[in-house]
């Protein structure tokens, strides 16, 4: 049995690893196979010029590996997705403030806060969000 790595020839992205007696049968025009005993985590390696290469450490959760550049690149989309998830959680946690039995002054303060949360994506930089303060009442 041979331990192998299966990868996209076009990008160098490693798709999987495994063991097989018939490694050669896995190779196609689009997929390449490298026999390698050392790869344990296929998400931390890629193939360049037929060689297994190790990725550097991921700088942040908002980076994605660019197989063309062989480098991590910042993904604004991932950063904004994180901002929206946090915003949605804060909105959900304050839903109670809009119930009919909440005093009018308290409700209005929370309406303003919640609107600021909804407007959060109008800010320019997802890495430097200015979050509104929760009302004290």
The pLDDT, as a whole number, for residue 23 is 86
Q: Is the pTM of this model over 0.85?
A: no
The pLDDT, as a whole number, for residue 70 is 94
pLDDT tens across 56-82, in order? Answer: 999 999 999 999 999 999 999 999 999
Print the SS3 string covering the chain: CEEEEEEECCCCEEEEEEEECCHHHHCCCCEEEEECCCCCCHHHEEEECCEEEECCCCCCCCEEEECCCCEEEECHHHHHHHHHHHHHHHHHHCHHHHCCCCCHHHHHHHHHHHHHHHHHHHCCCCCCCCCCCCCCC
The pLDDT, as a whole number, for residue 78 is 98
pLDDT tens across 14-65, in order? Answer: 999 999 888 888 899 999 999 988 888 889 999 999 999 999 999 999 999 9
């Amino acid at each position: 049995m041979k331990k192998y790595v299966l990868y996209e020839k076009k990008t160098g992205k490693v798709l999987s690893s495994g063991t097989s007696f018939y490694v050669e049968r896995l190779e196609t025009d689009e997929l390449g196979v490298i026999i390698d005993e050392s790869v344990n985590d296929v998400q931390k390696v890629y193939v360049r010029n037929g060689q297994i290469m190790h990725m550097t450490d991921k700088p942040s959760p908002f980076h994605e590996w660019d197989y063309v550049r062989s480098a991590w690149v910042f993904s604004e989309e991932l950063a904004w997705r994180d901002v929206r998830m946090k915003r949605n959680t804060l909105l959900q946690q304050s839903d109670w403030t809009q119930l009919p039995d909440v005093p009018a002054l308290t409700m209005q303060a929370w309406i303003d806060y919640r609107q600021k949360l909804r407007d959060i994506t109008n800010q320019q930089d997802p890495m430097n969000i200015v979050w509104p303060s929760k009302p004290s009442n």
